């Protein structure tokens, strides 16, 4: 049986390829050796800001060997077809954003999908990312997380977006403008409560790096003092709340349907993150049954 037609074809046999290069967040020394090599050897360097990539190359002591062209949100769609043609003709095109990994809230997605559709090779030179760097230093759970890009600019949209995170159990990472940070955190207090834990990372890896941890209420007040620099916010996930009587009621429904109490408890606990242990729920079911029986017996005693 052959592969479905919707699967992309294998990369063409040309020597051309698309390279995605992660650039330093602030310290040029964080650039990988592979990125340094790619800057000097790529036929085309497509950069979010051509001045910044030239400054980076100068800081690294690298001479960019190929043509430098801009590739940002407003011109990416127009630039992609010609760049894909160059790759098909054998060119190596290096795509870099201003800082961190391309595509992660930065240009490059259209370029990648166009190359895949054309059967051209796409590879990545891994390196810095503000998302994972902030998550790592936050001290919040990192085994499961979500990334939300930039918080919405308008307050009504931002409040709706925050309300959507009210029950999100995963740690959430997002970007915010320093000008809107205080407003965003005050809105978060209104929608999520002031006690939710949050970490604001400012100027990650740079000379004036600052990591501030606390509750939403505390950091909303702190952010009112004209915070400057690149901002990444790490928000703790919602702590699941469990109503033990409701869980006991769910167990009883499964028992009526024919499950053993032990098996019903296991099913209910598995369906509710943050629920008590199976043993605790089992004991609560037995206590509820015993209490119900006592009330029943009292009601049946002669007056």
Give the mean model confidence (pLDDT) for residues 194-220: 96
pLDDT tens digit sequence for 261-300: 999 999 988 887 667 788 889 999 999 988 765 544 434 4
pLDDT at 176 over 90: yes
- Within 10 Å of residue 160's Cβ, how many Cβ atoms? 12
Please report which residue ranges of the chain form alpha helices under DSSP H: 33-41, 50-60, 76-88, 109-117, 130-138, 155-164, 181-192, 216-222, 244-256, 261-271, 278-300
Are 17-128 and 131-235 in the same CATH fold? no
Hey, where are the domains in the chain?
Answer: 17-128, 131-235, 244-291
Q: What is the pLDDT of residue 290?
A: 85
- CA dist 24 and 14 (Å) reads 30
Q: What is 131-235's CATH number?
A: 3.30.950.10
Q: What is the pLDDT of residue 251?
A: 95
| Highest CATH level, class, for 17-128 | alpha beta
């Amino acid at each position: 049986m052959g592969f479905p037609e919707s699967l992309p074809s294998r990369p063409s046999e040309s020597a051309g390829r698309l390279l995605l290069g992660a650039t330093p967040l602030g310290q040029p020394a964080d650039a990988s050796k592979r990125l340094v090599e790619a800057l000097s050897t790529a036929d085309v360097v497509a950069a979010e800001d051509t001045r910044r990539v030239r400054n980076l190359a100068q800081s690294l002591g690298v001479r960019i060997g190929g043509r430098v062209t801009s590739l940002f949100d407003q011109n990416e769609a127009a630039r992609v077809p010609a760049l894909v043609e160059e790759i098909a003709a054998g060119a190596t095109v290096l795509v870099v954003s201003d800082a961190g990994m391309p595509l992660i809230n930065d240009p490059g997605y259209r370029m990648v999908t166009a190359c895949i559709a054309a059967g051209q090779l796409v590879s990545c030179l891994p390196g810095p990312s503000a998302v994972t760097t902030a998550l790592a230093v936050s001290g919040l759970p990192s085994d499961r997380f979500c990334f939300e890009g930039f918080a919405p600019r308008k307050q009504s949209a931002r409040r709706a977006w925050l309300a959507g995170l009210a029950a999100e159990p995963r740690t959430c990472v997002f970007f915010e403008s320093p000008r809107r940070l205080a407003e965003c955190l005050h809105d978060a207090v209104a929608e999520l409560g002031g006690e939710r834990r949050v970490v604001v990372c400012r100027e990650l890896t740079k000379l004036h790096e600052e990591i501030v941890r606390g509750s939403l209420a505390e950091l909303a007040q702190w952010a009112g003092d004209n915070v400057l620099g690149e901002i990444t916010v790490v928000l703790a996930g919602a702590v699941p709340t469990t109503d033990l009587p409701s869980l006991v009621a769910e167990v009883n429904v499964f028992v009526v349907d024919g499950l053993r109490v032990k098996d019903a408890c296991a099913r209910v606990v598995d369906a509710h993150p943050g629920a008590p242990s199976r043993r605790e729920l089992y004991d609560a079911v037995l206590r509820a049954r015993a209490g119900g029986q006592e009330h029943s017996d009292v009601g049946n005693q002669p007056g």
